[in-house]
Homo-oligomer: A and B are copies of this chain.
Amino acid sequence: MKSLLKDTFELAEQLLQLEQDAAPMPRHDVGALGDQLSLELPQDGATQGEVFAKMSAVLNATPQTSSPRFLNQLFGGRQNYAAAADMLTAMLNVSMYTYKAAGAMILIEQQLVQHMAKFAGFTNAEGVICPGGSMANFVGMMMGRDRANHDFREHGSDGRQHTFYVSTQSHYSVDKAAAMLGVGRANVRKIKCDDNGSMNVDDLANAIEVDITNDCVPCAVIATCGTTVLGAFDPLKQIASVCRKHNIWLHADGAFGGPALLHRQHRNLLDGIEYADSLSWDAHKVMGVPLTCSMLLCQHQGKLSKSLQQDAEYLFQVDHEDLNPGLRSIQCGRRNDAFKLWSAWQALGDNGWHDRLEQQFKLAKFAADYIEQSADFELCQRPEYLTICFKVYGVDATELCDQLHANGEALIGHADVRGEQVMRLVVVNPEISTSDLQRLFENIVAKQRNIISA
């Protein structure tokens, strides 16, 4: 392994170089790429040199998500300590079900749960890191389902219609989870949004009342904290009061927006979060921790076990159940996604996260200002958070994105805003400079001119 470590280290340095150059990331034709790399799995093994040569070729054909040209996803950039710790995680390779098997790493996850819960104002918190925000939402929704109908876990549905409530701007994982949970996609009520993209609470209250009248069983409201496209936040306080009235579980999907709680002023985007029953909060998006690192917090100790605990006499043999988080997880064997976030937190502290977010908000403001002042662009709305949606006059957003991708000037996406396809820029990498953004806008204008004159 020692000589492999050396080669690994060299490849890692090579990757850093690639990112630093901010070289374009041209789109590889799939067929050509497959041929060129010869990715087939062989019958006979290869030498160390051959294997690392292949690995190096693959690295070079993989988008560099820490490049300032990667602006396509809700993640991008790298928190360096988190990446370093995650490399060690691959070597340590513990499974996060028991203290016996994972030792100090279990205590580290507990620290994260309790510390992050404080930022959410959860006083009696428990939590578990899930494999992605979709699965964290799934767990929150499951707890809601199981509280609304105590028999569901044991016996499944009794045939009554069970329902979830979410805004039209919500993440698609809610529909997927409704299907997985046996509630059904058709029973996810999509509540209309205001123009800025937040859920209309009057409509929510009406929908719930109609359902109750019709003998449905409302399981949970899923409030979105940071929508995928506009970065909008649902009004938690008002939603919580509707939920309280009807005793319905409130899950807050803060996969994208949860980290705003770490910013001393902008944490008000999540005003009322302390009334939620559960919260998803991804560290692998805005916080730059390698994928995946999705914290699921619950306001009420014991609820996770109530939905997920399963005796396994061969596994849970020693220690208090607090020390065996396998009892509160959808997974059995579970990767250690705690060490990387903990290490980053040691390096940054609460204050460092604030500063990092401050820089992200500044970049988003720069981008929005630039767009507003440009004659070629129209800003859809001032961003509350870290996504900026805008129109480029005279060209189709889809075509523009494809052209920017073709020779690797930028990976950027488009989205539907009020019925129109517009450009969607995500500014989550705090290492990006304003001149990187300026170059992007210049590239876009150049493409716009080309397309129009073609």
Contacts and interface: CB of A to CB of B under 8 A. Distances in A.
B132 A331 contact: yes
A405 B319 CA distance: 12
A89 B88 contact: no
A137 to B, nearest CB: 9
Interface stretch (A190-198, A269-277, A361-369, A408-416): A408-416
Nearest to A415: B314
Interface string A95-124: 100011111110110011001000000000
Interface in A59-77: 59, 61-66, 72-75
Contacts of A75: 93, 95, 333
Given A75-B95, A415-B314, A81 B134 contact: no
A372 interface: no
Contacts of A336: 291
Per assembly, the copies of the chain total 2
A144 interface: no
Contacts of A132: 131, 331-335
7 contacts: A62-B104, A63-B102, A72-B100, A72-B101, A131-B135, A180-B180, A314-B424
Interface residues of A, number: 153
Contact of A99 (B30, B88, B184, B352): B30
Contact of A7 (B84, B112, B156, B335): B84
Interface in A174-231: 175-176, 179-187, 228-229
A74 B413 CA distance: 42
A23 interface: no
Given A290-B90, A291-B335, A346 B41 contact: yes
- From A51, A61, A308, residue with most partner B Cβ within 10 Å: A51
Given A103-B28, A104-B28, A180-B142, A13 B5 contact: yes
A33 interface: yes
Contacts of A405: 100, 318
A187 B156 contact: yes
Interface in A346-377: 346-352
A46 B349 contact: yes
- From A30, A181, A312, residue with most partner B Cβ within 10 Å: A30
A84 B9 CA distance: 9
Contacts of A78: 1, 91, 93
A294 to B, nearest CB: 8
B154 A182 contact: no
A87 B8 contact: yes
Contact of A65 (B51, B93, B142, B175): B93
A323 B90 contact: no
A402 to B, nearest CB: 7
Contacts of A46: 346-347, 349
Contact of A83 (B93, B175, B284, B307): B93
Contacts of A332: 132-134, 171-173
A292 interface: yes
A245 interface: no
- From A83, A102, A187, A343, residue with most partner B Cβ within 10 Å: A83
Contact of A9 (B5, B42, B310): B5
A16 interface: yes
A413 B154 contact: no
Contact of A154 (B61, B63, B185, B343): B185
Contacts of A414: 314, 317
B133 A347 contact: no
